[in-house]
C-alpha cells in the first residue's frame, strides 16, 4: 500500500449531487487502481489503511487532490459554485 501511495495508484471519482435538477455538490469516492487486481473499492483497502496507519497519508492525498480539482472547477462558470 505504501507503493500505491508513491506510485499514485489511488483515484478519486466525483459523484454529482443533484437537487431539483441542479448540480449542488459532489461526493468524492476513493478507488485504488491496483496493478494486478484492477480497480478496488474502498472496503477492499480502507480497513488495512486504518490498521497500518496509512489512512492519514491516503486521506491527505485525497484532500490535496480534491482541492486541486476545486481550483479547476472554480475557473469554469458551470462549476464555480462548487
Give the Cα-Cα-Cα angle 14, 10, 55 (nearest 5 degrees): 100
pTM of the entire predicted model: 0.85
pLDDT at 7: 94
Question: In this structure, what DSSP letter does residue 44 have?
Answer: G
**pLDDT at position 11, please?**
97
Look at residue 59 in the predicted model and tell me its pLDDT.
Answer: 95
Tally the C-alpha atoms within 13 A of residue 5's C-alpha that lie toward its C-beta.
Answer: 15
Q: What is the pLDDT of residue 42?
A: 96
Segment 25-60, tens digit of pLDDT? 999 999 999 999 999 999 999 999 999 999 999 999
Amino acid at each position: 500500500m505504501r507503493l500505491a501511495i508513491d506510485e499514485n495508484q489511488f483515484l478519486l471519482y466525483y459523484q454529482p449531487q443533484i437537487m431539483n435538477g441542479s448540480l449542488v455538490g459532489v461526493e468524492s469516492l476513493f478507488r485504488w487502481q491496483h496493478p494486478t487486481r484492477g480497480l478496488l473499492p474502498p472496503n477492499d483497502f480502507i480497513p488495512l489503511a486504518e490498521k497500518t496507519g496509512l489512512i492519514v497519508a491516503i486521506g491527505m492525498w485525497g484532500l490535496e487532490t480534491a482541492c486541486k480539482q476545486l481550483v479547476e472547477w472554480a475557473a469554469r462558470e458551470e462549476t464555480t459554485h462548487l
